Each structure stands twice: as C-alpha cells, then as structure tokens.
C-alpha cells in the first residue's frame, strides 16, 4: 500500500498518545495534519517528523472546546488540498471537581471536546473517505468505559458513549472500506495526570497497571487496520475489562449488529 498519498489528522497531537500516534504514522509514511492548542509544540513535532521521515506535516492550532473548531480544521484541510484518510480523535481531558460545584461552561466544554467535536469530525471526514473507498478512524475511549460510573464524573459516561458510537459507526461503514475502532487504554504514561493535577495519586498505582503511549498506539493501529471495532491494549487491561462487563465486547458487538431493529434489511 502506498501511504504517501494518504494523510492522517491527529487531534491532541502535541503530547502523550496523540504525539505517539503522529510519530507512528509518520514512520509508516503517512502525511500528517496535527491539531492541538499549543502551536509551538505542534511545530516542533512537525519539524522533527518531516526531517526524520520525509513526510508532509501540516499544523493547525485549534481549541476543540470551541464549537467552531471542527469546521475550521476541515476548512483549513480543504484550502491546503489535504484529503483526510485517517482520523485519530485523541484530544481529551477529565473534570476535577464535583459536578454540582463545577460551572456549566466548564462541563459544556468537556462535552464539546470529547463528544460533540469527536462526533462532528467523524461526520466531516466521511464524505471523502466514502468517495475514495478507504478510511481509518480511531476514537480514544478508555478502560473507564467498561467500569461502573464514578461519583461526579462525566468522564465515564463520555467514554462509554465513544465506545458505543464507534462500534455503531464501524457496523455502518466497514462495507464501504472504512474501519472505526474505539481504543480503550488504561493508565498510560503521559502528561494527562499532570494536566488533571492527579499525578500524586497516579504515582501510587502499581507499576503493572501502566503502559507506555507507544504500546497503546501500536495495538490501536494494528486493531483498526485489522478491522477490530474495539481495542483494549495490554493484558492486564483486557482482564480488567472482561471482569467488569457481563458479556464479552466482541459478543456485544455482534449481537448489536445482528439484532438492530432499526437496521435496514
């Protein structure tokens, strides 16, 4: 497969899993459109990958908390003649305070970032993918999507949405050559816990629970290329996910696909 004509859009690309995806895809020969809020970090990464792998790397600074951001990203891509063949919906955060004590604009921004923007970007890249008969979408869910809900947190519900909608999209789009995968990592070494001010608590967790971002990316990319709608990376995480859900993920997927009462025959 000649990937030099294919481009990957990666959100939250300035650090952590997003940056690891950018490095992995560049090493595979994909051109990149890197999106995050920190322009300096994006440009530094783009320069590194262009020099190392000889691929085109465009950057677009955007805050996906802004409802206008998805449309602006795609308008930039169109203006630059970029066709998005791979979408990595990675950008995310988690609330840090009780729901009732958090101002609504903060909660709304969390939903906008991880629900609305993620879904809108999927919708906006699909016309081109369908026209070309090929596409890959990875939506970052979480091991939390398999767990019981946590007090005060929208995060578990949001990641459950991402897990569910990714499977639904994969059912619809796979016959058209488009694979959609919900990537559900557990504890991953990144800046996430520093940003959320939970580093002290995270550092108390057993070493066996942690994965490197590069490991998560390799498993996630392998899964979407093989057409797997759900990827829980790491043996420990797979065991935890299987004990938290009554039915195996694969069985849930096939039952949902087979017995959907709204699916056209």
Catalytically active residues, by annotation: 155
Task: Give dist(CA 128, CA 10) in Å, integer.
Answer: 17
SS3 135: strand
CB 40 within 8 A of CB 14: no
Strands 230-231 and 135-140: unpaired
How many whole angstroms separate alpha carbon 213 and alpha carbon 231?
Answer: 14
How far apart, in whole angstroms, are the C-alpha atoms of residue 33 and residue 27?
15
Bridging pattern class, strands 135-140 and 7-11: unpaired
CA dihedral 205, 206, 207, 209 (to 10 degrees): -80
Beta strand pairing call for 57-61 and 31-36: parallel
């Amino acid at each position: 497969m000649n990937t030099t004509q294919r481009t990957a859009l990666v959100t939250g690309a300035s650090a952590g899993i997003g940056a690891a995806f950018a490095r992995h895809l560049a090493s595979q020969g994909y051109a990149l459109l890197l999106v995050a809020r920190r322009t300096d970090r994006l440009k530094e990464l783009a320069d590194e990958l262009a020099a190392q792998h000889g691929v085109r790397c465009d950057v677009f600074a955007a805050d996906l908390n802004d409802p206008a951001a998805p449309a602006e990203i795609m308008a930039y891509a169109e203006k630059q003649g970029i066709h998005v063949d791979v979408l990595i919906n990675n950008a995310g955060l988690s609330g840090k305070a009780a729901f009732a004590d958090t101002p609504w604009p903060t909660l709304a921004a969390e939903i906008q970032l991880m629900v609305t923007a993620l879904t809108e970007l999927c919708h906006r890249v699909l016309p081109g993918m369908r026209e070309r008969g090929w596409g890959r979408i990875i939506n970052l869910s979480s091991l939390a999507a398999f767990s019981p809900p946590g007090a005060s947190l929208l995060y578990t519900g949001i990641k459950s949405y991402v897990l569910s909608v990714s499977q639904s999209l994969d059912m619809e789009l796979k016959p058209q050559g488009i694979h959609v995968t919900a990537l559900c990592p557990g504890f991953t070494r990144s800046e996430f816990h520093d940003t959320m001010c939970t580093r002290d608590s995270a550092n108390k967790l057993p070493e066996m629970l942690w994965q490197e971002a590069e490991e998560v990316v390799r498993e996630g990319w392998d899964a979407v290329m093989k057409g797997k709608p759900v990827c829980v990376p790491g043996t420990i995480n797979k065991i935890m996910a299987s004990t938290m859900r009554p039915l195996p993920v694969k069985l849930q997927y096939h039952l949902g696909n087979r017995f959907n009462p709204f699916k056209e025959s």
